[in-house]
């Protein structure tokens, strides 16, 4: 669709009408009278109609001019409203946000806050996916992933969420039946629960202890937690899973004086592609969830 008149020319015409003359409009807009005159003349020439009656003392709208100016005012108002609407919507995060994390992190740290997040951002549609290994964000159509441990993928942007200490834990029931280990070497006489799928997770941060050989294994951290809670043995889990269990006495933290702090496995990061169309949704989620995490 080709318009005969330009919007900047129309705005100058409206200024002449609003301020009651060419000179007054030029003073208000801080431009030359000649520029306004050229714009109004061009509009009239393009339309083939007289819009303004000029006298030495004032300008008046013709009947055709009044109808035209009224229509232009309405049209420009619609455009302004449309611009304002799309600008506001662009600033409000909306659309689908796909979040990936190991299932224990989703259970303990994300799921409890999704209801509050939805209230804060009702236009964001949440999809939670749990994977026990590292996923390819593009392949799995993931917008943001929570990763525990050292990051190796330099193509991703990362936002540090904090550190989650590792604890060697067992239930009071297990300790009552099997005794309390006081030194790392004592663990060799106990039932140890470890990971079956990621062997590096069976290297516990204990001085004087190499990678453990678990008696019971599971592929899921939450399964291992449940085994420990039920008295199945001793295990090593992140604080984001067991902090509340230790505080409530459901699990006991063991051989703390031998525990090594500050390992790479404690790191918790949110990773994402910054250029993604979901970047505003990702930012909203990270800013919301970070202060609520109990790592």
| pLDDT of the residue at 181 | 93
Separation of alpha carbons 268 and 290, rounded Å: 10
> Which run of H or E residues covers position 21?
none
Same domain, yes or no, for 154 and 209? Answer: no
Same domain, yes or no, for 87 and 114? Answer: no
Q: For residue 219, how far is the Cα from the chain centroid?
A: 28
Last residue of a domain, one of 41, 69, 91: 91
DSSP 206: B
- Cα angle vertex 222, ends 196, 169, to 5°? 85
- Asked if residue 74 is part of any domain, the answer here is yes
Residues 6+ away with beta carbon under 8 Å from 239: 164, 165, 166, 167, 295
**Domain tally for the chain?**
3
For residue 237, count CB atoms less than 10 angstroms from its CB and return exposed for 0-12, middle for 13-18, buried for 19 or more.
buried
Rg for the chain (alpha carbons), in Å? 34
Same domain, yes or no, for 13 and 143? Answer: no
Same domain, yes or no, for 274 and 255? Answer: no
Same domain, yes or no, for 277 and 132? Answer: yes
Same domain, yes or no, for 153 and 281? Answer: yes
Same domain, yes or no, for 173 and 235? Answer: yes
Residue numbers in the chain where pLDDT is lower than 70:
1-5, 56-57, 80-91, 132-140, 153-155, 274-278
| pLDDT of the residue at 85 | 60
Q: pTM for the complete prediction?
A: 0.65
| pLDDT of the residue at 155 | 67
Same domain, yes or no, for 238 and 254? Answer: yes
DSSP 260: P
Range of the domain at 106: 95-164+266-292
| pLDDT of the residue at 1 | 42
Same domain, yes or no, for 222 and 250? Answer: yes
Same domain, yes or no, for 254 and 215? Answer: yes
- Asked if residue 1 is part of any domain, the answer here is no
| pLDDT of the residue at 162 | 92
| CATH number assigned to the domain comprising residue 29 | 1.10.10.10
Last residue of a domain, one of 47, 76, 91: 91
């Amino acid at each position: 669709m080709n318009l005969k008149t330009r919007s900047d020319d129309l705005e100058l015409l409206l200024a002449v009408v609003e301020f009651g003359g060419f000179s007054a409009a030029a003073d208000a807009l801080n431009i030359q009278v000649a520029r306004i005159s050229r714009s109004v003349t061009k509009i009239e020439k393009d339309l083939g109609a007289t819009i303004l009656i000029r006298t030495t003392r004032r300008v008046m709208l013709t009947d055709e001019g009044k109808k035209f100016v009224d229509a232009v005012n309405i049209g420009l108002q619609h455009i302004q409203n449309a611009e304002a609407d799309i600008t506001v919507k662009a600033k409000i995060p909306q659309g689908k946000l796909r979040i990936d994390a190991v299932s224990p992190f989703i259970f303990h740290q994300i799921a409890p806050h999704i209801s509050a997040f939805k209230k804060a951002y009702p236009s964001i549609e949440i999809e939670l996916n749990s994977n026990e290994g590292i996923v390819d964000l593009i392949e799995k159509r993931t917008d943001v992933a929570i990763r525990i441990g050292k990051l190796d993928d330099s193509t991703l942007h990362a936002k540090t969420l904090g550190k989650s200490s590792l604890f060697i834990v067992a239930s009071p029931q297990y300790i009552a039946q099997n005794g309390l280990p006081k030194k790392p070497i004592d663990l060799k006489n106990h039932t140890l629960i470890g990971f079956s799928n990621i062997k590096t997770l069976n290297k516990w941060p204990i001085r004087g202890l190499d990678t453990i050989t678990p008696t019971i294994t599971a592929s899921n951290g939450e399964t291992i937690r449940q085994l420990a809670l039920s008295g199945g043995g001793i295990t090593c889990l992140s604080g984001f899973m067991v902090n509340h269990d230790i505080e409530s006495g459901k699990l006991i933290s063991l051989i703390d004086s031998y525990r090594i702090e500050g390992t790479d496995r404690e790191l918790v990061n949110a990773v994402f592609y910054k250029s993604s169309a979901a970047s505003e949704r990702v930012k909203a989620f990270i800013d919301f969830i970070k202060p609520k995490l109990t790592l």
